[in-house]
Amino acid sequence: MSHHHETSICPNCGYHADNKYCAQCGQPTHLHKDTLWGLIVHFFEHYFHYDSKFLKTMKALLFKPGELTLAYWKGQRMRYIPPISLYIFVSAIYFICSTLFVSERIHSVQQMAKQYHLGKTDDTSKVLIKHDKTTGETSKKHFSSQDLVNNPEMMTYITEKEQHVYPKFIFFMIPFMGLVLKLLFWNRKDLYFADHVIFSLHLHAFYFSITILQALTPDLSISMIVSIILLIIVAIYFVKAIQRAYNAELGIAMAFVMVIGIIYTLILGIAMAIYTFIIATQYMAK
3-state class of 118 per DSSP?
coil
Q: Are residues 41 and 76 in the same domain?
A: no
> Comparing 84 with 32, which gets the higher pLDDT?
84
Q: Which of 4-8, 41-45, 57-61, 128-132 has the highest mean pLDDT?
A: 57-61
3-state secondary structure of 228: helix
pLDDT (0 to 100) of residue 112: 60
Question: What 3-state DSSP class applies to 17?
Answer: strand
The count of structural domains within the chain is 2
**243 domain residue, yes or no:** yes
Query: Each residue of 81-128: pLDDT tens digit?
Result: 999 999 999 998 888 888 776 666 666 666 665 555 544 444 444 444
Are 87 and 176 within one domain?
yes
User: Could you tell me if 202 and 241 are in contact, meaning their C-beta atoms sit under 8 angstroms apart?
Assistant: yes
Taking Cα atoms as reference points, which of 100, 23, 57 lies closest to residue 201?
Answer: 57
Question: Does residue 16 sit in the same domain as residue 110?
Answer: no
Q: Are 123 and 238 in contact (CB under 8 A)?
A: no
The reply to whether 207 and 227 lie within a common domain is yes
250-284 and 152-184 helices, crossing angle to 10°: 150
Determine the straight-line distance between the first and last CA of the chain, rounded to whole angstroms: 86
Tell me: do 264 and 209 sit in the same domain: yes
Q: How confident is the model at residue 19 (pLDDT cuts 50, 70, 90)?
A: low
Residue 132, in any domain of the structure: no
Which of 5-9, 100-104, 238-242, 278-282 shows the lowest per-residue confidence on average (mean pLDDT)?
A: 5-9
What percent of the chain has a predicted confidence (pLDDT) above 70?
Answer: 66
**In a shared domain, residues 196 and 245:** yes
* 105 lies in the same domain as 241: yes
Contacts of 17 (CB under 8 A, 6+ apart): 7, 8, 9, 10, 23, 24, 29
Classify residue 233: in a domain, yes or no: yes
Among 217, 4, 22, 263, smallest CA distance to 102 is for 217
Check whether residue 73 and residue 45 sit in a common domain.
Answer: no
Residue 274 forms part of a structural domain:
yes
- Give domain status of residue 142, yes or no: no
With respect to residue 127, please indicate whether it lies within any of the assigned structural domains: no
- Whether 92 is in a domain gets the answer yes
Of 106 and 205, the one with more pLDDT: 205
CA atoms within 13 A on the CB side of 113: 17
Q: How confident is the model over 146-164, as pLDDT tens digits? A: 555 556 677 777 777 887 7
Q: Pick the residue with more confidence: 224 or 109?
A: 224
Taking CA atoms, 183 is separated from 179, 246, 263, 282, in Å, by: 6, 13, 13, 38
What pLDDT is recorded for position 4? Answer: 47
CB burial of 189-206 (b: ≥16 within 10 Å; e: otherwise) equals eebeeebbbbbbbbbbbb
* Of 191 and 25, the one with more pLDDT: 191
Percent of the chain at pLDDT > 90 equals 41
Q: Is the pLDDT of residue 2 over 50?
A: no
**Is pLDDT larger for residue 116 or for residue 267?**
267
The mean-pLDDT minimum among 14-28, 56-70, 152-166, 212-226 falls in 14-28
Element (H, E) at 27: none
Domain of 16, in residue numbers: 8-54
pLDDT of 173 reads 96
Identify whether residues 159 and 221 lie together within a single domain.
Answer: yes
Domain finish residue from 31, 54, 77? 54
- 157 and 271 both lie in a single domain: yes
**DSSP assignment letter at 219:** S
Give me the pLDDT at residue 167, please: 84
Q: Quote the pLDDT of residue 270.
A: 94
Question: Is the domain of 158 the same as that of 274?
Answer: yes
Are residues 233 and 110 located together in one domain of the fold? yes
| Residue 275 resides in a domain | yes
